[in-house]
């Protein structure tokens, strides 16, 4: 039985003691519950539908992992408790044991890999920017003196400043508390650009009131593998997650899920993102791995 907990994260929740040794299977067996971290506006990976229920490509994959855990533990059922997370608190909530599996839109990189583990990569994104078409902006070099939005807790602004076209450009940073809030800054002209993963930008544009007004433009700031996040040093749970995803890749189920969420009408407004699978993800399906972003961006 699934249970959706709309729990605001208290300071106390963030200060829970870290598990002495990560053993998610033991925790699930004793409690009968697995806590799934979800995002509320990472369309179409993890977001809320019209009934405020978590849906999306990563949510579906994570439920396959829950099914595999139930089978491994020989339990009649595993209750799923949903826990909303943000860019800022997702890693602390995994490391302190509050969240067992994070099913949002998290980039696997070397810095995060020192704190958490990632299952094999399930999506590859390009970091770019969304603008209003009538702004005429097509490059980072045009952002001097202008407000640029990104979401608190993400690395987009650092990527902009590190890019060759962004060096020496004195843009002004404005931060949204989540992706929906950052896009609202663009909609309301409090920012001229919103820098983020291109699939998330495409999802926000497709579900906006006036999708024809926006475009994804500019240089690719980074190629980033997106993965499902787990507690570090928990090999039994990681093996189940990895094997489940690899099995979905081998059977063709992952490609069907991709078509469902990226190439078909999706809730809540039945819009179609028309976002074809990238060559990088096609290659990953042939050769699954959990390599971090740095491996994709070697010069």
pLDDT given for residue 282 in this prediction: 95
Superfamily of domain 24-122+227-295: Periplasmic binding protein-like II (3.40.190.10)
pLDDT given for residue 111 in this prediction: 94
Distances (CA, A) of 130 to 187, 199, 205: 10, 11, 8
The model's pLDDT over 187-242, given as tens digits with 9 standing for 90+, comes to 999 999 999 989 889 989 988 999 999 999 999 888 899 999 999 999 999 999 99
Q: Is the pLDDT of residue 13 over 70?
A: no
pLDDT given for residue 81 in this prediction: 98
Average pLDDT over residues 18-43: 88
The model's pLDDT over 16-26, given as tens digits with 9 standing for 90+, comes to 444 445 799 99
pLDDT given for residue 259 in this prediction: 97
Q: Is the pLDDT of residue 14 over 70?
A: no
pLDDT given for residue 273 in this prediction: 87
The model's pLDDT over 258-275, given as tens digits with 9 standing for 90+, comes to 999 999 999 988 989 889
d(CA 168, CA 144) in angstroms, rounded, equals 9
pLDDT band at 299 (very low <50, low <70, confident <90, very high): low
The model's pLDDT over 82-106, given as tens digits with 9 standing for 90+, comes to 999 998 999 999 999 999 999 999 9
Whether this prediction's pTM lies above 0.75 is answered by: yes
SS3 per residue for the chain: CEEECCCCCCHHHHCCCCCCCCCHHHHHHHHCEEEEEECCEECCCEEECCCCCEECHHHHHHHHHHHHHHHHHCCCCCEEEEEECCCCCHHHHHHCCCCCEEEEEEECCHHHHCCEEECCCCEEEEEEEEEEHHHCCCCHHHCCCCEEEEECCCCHHHHHHHCCCCCCCCCEEEEECCHHHHHHHHHCCCCCEEEEEHHHHHHHHHCCCCHHHEEEEEEEEEEEEEEEEEECCCHHHHHHHHHHHHHHHHHCHHHHHHHHHHCCEECCCCEECCCCCCHHHHHHHHCCCCCCHHHHCCC
The model's pLDDT over 273-283, given as tens digits with 9 standing for 90+, comes to 889 998 889 99
pLDDT given for residue 15 in this prediction: 39
pLDDT given for residue 207 in this prediction: 86
Indicate the CATH number for domain 125-223: 3.40.190.10
The boundaries of every CATH 3.40.190.10 domain in the chain are 24-122+227-295, 125-223
């Amino acid at each position: 039985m699934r249970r959706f907990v709309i729990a605001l994260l208290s300071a106390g929740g963030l200060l829970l003691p870290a598990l002495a040794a990560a053993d998610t299977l033991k925790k699930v067996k004793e409690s009968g519950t697995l806590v799934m971290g979800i995002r509320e506006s990472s369309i179409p990976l993890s977001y809320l539908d019209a009934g405020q229920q978590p849906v999306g490509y990563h949510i579906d994959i994570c439920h396959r992992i829950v099914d595999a855990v139930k089978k491994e533990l020989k339990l009649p059922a595993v209750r799923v408790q949903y826990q909303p997370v943000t860019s800022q608190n997702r890693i602390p909530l995994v490391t302190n044991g509050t969240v067992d599996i994070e099913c949002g839109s998290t980039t696997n990189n070397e810095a995060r890999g020192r704190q958490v583990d990632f299952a094999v990569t399930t999506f590859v994104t390009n970091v770019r920017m969304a603008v209003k078409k009538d702004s005429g902006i097509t490059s980072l070099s045009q952002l001097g003196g202008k407000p640029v939005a990104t979401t608190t807790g993400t690395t987009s602004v650092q990527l902009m400043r590190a890019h060759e076209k962004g060096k020496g450009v004195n843009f002004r940073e404005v931060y949204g508390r989540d992706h929906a809030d950052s896009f609202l800054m663009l909609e309301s002209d409090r920012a001229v650009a919103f820098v983020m993963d291109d699939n998330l930008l495409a999802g926000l544009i497709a579900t906006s009131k006036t999708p024809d007004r926006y475009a994804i433009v500019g240089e690719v700031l980074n190629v980033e593998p997106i993965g499902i996040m787990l507690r570090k040093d928990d090999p039994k749970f990681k093996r189940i997650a990895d094997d489940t995803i690899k099995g979905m890749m081998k059977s063709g189920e992952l490609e069907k899920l991709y078509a469902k969420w990226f190439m078909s009408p999706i809730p809540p407004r039945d819009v179609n993102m028309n976002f074809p699978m990238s060559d990088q993800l096609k290659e990953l399906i042939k050769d699954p791995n959990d390599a971090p972003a740095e491996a994709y961006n070697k010069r």
